[in-house]
Amino acid sequence: MNHRRILIIEDRSEGAGVLATYLKREGFETTVVHDGIPGQALFRHFDPALVLLDITLPGRDIHRFLFELRQTCLTPVIVLTAAADVTEKIGVLRQGADDYILKPYNPREVAARIQTVLRRAWPAQASRSVLECDGVWVDLDALVGGVRTADGDSVLLSLTRTELGVLTALLKTPYKAFTREELLASSMPDSDAQSRVIDTHVHNLRRKLEAAGVMQVPSTVRAVGYRFRSVAKLRQMGAR
């Protein structure tokens, strides 16, 4: 499971889009659906670490949705609701929701609540300080990196300390375009090397990732430097 993967089931396209964009900037991977029934089907395929669930989905009994979900898994759920009624809040919590957020919500608050619930739900993940995006991960405690395969196993990468530093910086904010100077400062803080030396380390990192089945990572940002996700990937995620 990717512990940064969030499934948003929300009937308001505009609100869901704004929230998804903000969460992506915070390093989460998001998928949005606007109806509970396909949301349940996507849940099994997407395998999220957490679900944001709108309580006002049309034609769907959310209490039953939560009940059915809890029969098969313990994935945390945060309910989004416009109802300030205490009875309604207690009802969704009793049915298995881990938290609730009143609409209209502030994306910053939602992100903070998500972090809190994830720490409770996956304490081992939180304590190990693991960064992960698109199956590529770095364990900051063990100082190793790897690639997660389709069956859930991991392939360790043989990375130099500088390559690990570059990958760590990119994974912390996968959508950010880093300059060579920024990557040099992150991965070789005591070096007086020229910034262009980063190109060699990125090339070697990319080659090792390709050997593990991850293509075009890191991606080149013209006239700037590098980012973890490509522009094409950004557009694809934004269209969801």
Higher pLDDT, 219 or 175: 219
CA 238 – CA 89 distance, rounded (Å): 31
List, for residues 118-161, the tens digit of each pLDDT value.
888 766 555 557 888 888 999 887 788 999 887 767 889 999 99
pLDDT at site 237: 45
pLDDT value for 217:
94
Provide the CA 222 distance to its chain's centre, in angstroms: 25
pLDDT tens figures, 159-189: 999 999 999 999 988 888 899 999 999 898 8
Residue 198 to residue 203: CA distance in whole angstroms = 8
What's the pTM?
0.53
Structure tokens at 157: 């990468």
CA atoms within 13 A on the CB side of 86: 0
Look-up: residue for tokens 């869901």? 16
Range with the poorest average pLDDT among 44-48, 158-162, 171-175, 200-204:
44-48
| pLDDT at residue number 59 | 57
CATH number (3.40.30.10, 1.10.10.1100, 3.40.50.1260, 1.10.10.10) of 130-238 reads 1.10.10.10
> HEC profile for 19-76?
HHHHHHHCCCEEEEECCHHHHHHHHHHHCCCEEEEECCCCCCCHHHHHHHHHHHCCCC
Residues of the chain with CATH 3.40.50.2300: 5-127
Q: How large a percentage of the chain has pLDDT more than 70?
A: 82
Residue 240: is its pLDDT beyond 50?
no
* pLDDT score recorded for residue 213: 92
Pairwise CA distance, residues 171 & 175, whole Å: 9
**Closest by CA position to 110, among listed 118, 186, 36:** 118
Return the number of other C-beta atoms located less than 10 Å from residue 219's C-beta.
19
In tens, the pLDDT along 54-105 reads 887 665 677 777 877 776 677 889 999 887 778 878 888 888 888 989 888 8
Segment 28-45 shows an average pLDDT of: 69
CATH class entry, domain 5-127: alpha beta
Parts of the chain belonging to CATH 1.10.10.10: 130-238
